[in-house]
């Protein structure tokens, strides 16, 4: 009976960083724990040329379970690195499920000119997603309004605002645009994220860990922790965690076209 219950639970980590050094010593066990927790897949996001190459090896080993989304940190990569990532993405495009994470960071970058300097790189990745007909995953820390403006002007494909941290006005704008958001496993600690969970239709909500970051526990974050987000969202929307798991899994597969 417990076995059947366990089998009925389905979850998907829509955004994580399984290539990172935090998982170097026990990546296999982390992935095994994810399967045991009921995950049917995860999307891992590479953020540099080295991370891209590392991820190629990982998805080869875990076909049909780990999927690759290729992006960069627009505030951290050089123009040259960005071009390298774009070249790699074109070359391996059939093994890539989305462009991103990519976008604007106003949390770490405060100076107006430095903020603006991220835009050409972001634009290039938006164009890349259009060119390859791929959905795009957006990092827009404290820059949700500007990122939305740029996307509305330049992009007509599917958009996922990862680890969404906007206020209710932006949440409504995302909902109206038919875009998606992901909520991290620790999202219930943040009032604006709880509000977003109520504003967006459940069909536009995905769950992520962003592991190794944003842990809901005192330990390193990992894909198995998606269950915390699943439970929290169930409580907020008054639904069972099975329903939340199943629906967010479907949403993830729809967005990434899996
Ligand atoms: Zn991330």
- pLDDT, residue 147, reads 97
Residue 170 lies in a domain: yes
Residue 218 lies in a domain: yes
Each residue's pLDDT tens digit, 32-50 = 999 999 999 999 999 999 9
Q: E strands, the chain, where?
A: 11-16, 39-46, 66-70, 96-103, 136-139, 159-161, 180-184, 205-208
Mean pLDDT over the full length of the chain:
95
Cα-to-centroid distance, 217 and ligand 1 (Å): 18
Cα-to-centroid distance, 42 and ligand 1 (Å): 13
Cα-to-centroid distance, 216 and ligand 1 (Å): 15
Q: What would the two tokens of residue 250 be?
A: 């479907």
Q: Are strands 180-184 and 205-208 parallel, antiparallel or unpaired?
A: parallel
Residue 239 lies in a domain: yes
CATH number of the domain within which 170 lies: 3.20.20.140
Give yes or no for residue 2 having a pLDDT over 70: no
Each residue's pLDDT tens digit, 127-174 = 999 999 999 999 999 999 999 999 999 999 999 999 999 999 999 999
Q: Please tell me the distance from the alpha carbon of residue 182 to that of residue 199, in angstroms, as a whole number.
A: 13
Each residue's pLDDT tens digit, 214-231 = 999 999 999 999 999 999
Cα-to-centroid distance, 45 and ligand 1 (Å): 6
Residue 4 lies in a domain: no
Cα-to-centroid distance, 160 and ligand 1 (Å): 12
Residue 161 lies in a domain: yes
- pLDDT, residue 88, reads 98
- pLDDT, residue 7, reads 52
Residue 201 lies in a domain: yes
- By the 8 A CB rule, do 140 and 161 touch? yes
Give yes or no for residue 213 having a pLDDT over 60: yes
Residues 98-137 as b or e (16 or more Cβ within 10 Å = b)? bbbbbbbbbeebeeeeebeebbebbbbbbebbeeeebbbb
Total domain count for the chain? Answer: 1
Cα-to-centroid distance, 173 and ligand 1 (Å): 22
Cα-to-centroid distance, 17 and ligand 1 (Å): 6
Among residues 90, 88, 43, the alpha carbon closest in space to that of 67 is found at: 43
- pLDDT, residue 1, reads 46
Assign 17 a pLDDT band (cuts: 50, 70, 90).
very high
Cα-to-centroid distance, 2 and ligand 1 (Å): 34
Assign 246 a pLDDT band (cuts: 50, 70, 90).
very high
> What DSSP element (H or E) covers 84?
helix 79-91
Cα-to-centroid distance, 108 and ligand 1 (Å): 15
- By the 8 A CB rule, do 43 and 15 touch? yes
Give yes or no for residue 73 having a pLDDT over 90: no
Protein residues placing their CB within 5 Å of the ion ligand 1: 210
Assign 75 a pLDDT band (cuts: 50, 70, 90).
confident
Residue 5 lies in a domain: no
Q: Domain range spanning residue 91?
A: 12-256
Among residues 258, 251, 199, 257, the alpha carbon closest in space to that of 230 is found at: 251
Residue 6 lies in a domain: no
């Amino acid at each position: 009976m417990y076995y059947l219950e366990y089998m009925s639970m389905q979850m998907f980590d829509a955004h994580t960083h399984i290539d990172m050094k935090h998982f170097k010593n026990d990546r296999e066990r982390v992935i095994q724990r994810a399967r045991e927790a009921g995950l049917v897949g995860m999307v891992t996001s590479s953020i540099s040329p080295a991370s891209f190459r590392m991820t190629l090896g990982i998805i080869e080993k875990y076909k049909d379970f780990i999927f690759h989304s290729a992006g960069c940190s627009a505030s951290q990569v050089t123009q040259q690195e960005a071009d390298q990532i774009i070249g790699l993405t074109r070359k391996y495009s059939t093994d890539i499920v989305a462009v991103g994470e990519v976008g604007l960071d106003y949390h770490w970058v405060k100076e107006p000119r430095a903020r603006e300097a991220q835009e050409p790189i972001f634009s290039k990745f938006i164009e890349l997603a259009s060119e390859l007909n791929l959905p795009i995953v957006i990092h827009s820390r404290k820059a949700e309004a500007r990122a939305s403006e740029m996307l509305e002007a330049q992009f007509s494909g599917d958009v996922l605002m990862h680890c969404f941290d906007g206020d209710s006005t932006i949440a409504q704008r995302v909902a109206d645009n038919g875009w998606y958001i992901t909520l991290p496993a620790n999202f219930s600690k943040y009032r604006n994220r709880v509000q977003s969970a109520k504003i967006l239709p459940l069909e536009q909500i995905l769950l992520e860990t962003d592991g190794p970051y944003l842990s809901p526990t005192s330990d390193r974050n990992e894909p198995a922790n998606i269950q915390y987000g699943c439970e929290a969202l169930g409580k907020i929307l008054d639904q069972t965690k099975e329903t939340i798991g199943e629906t967010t899994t479907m949403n993830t597969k729809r967005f990434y076209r899996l």
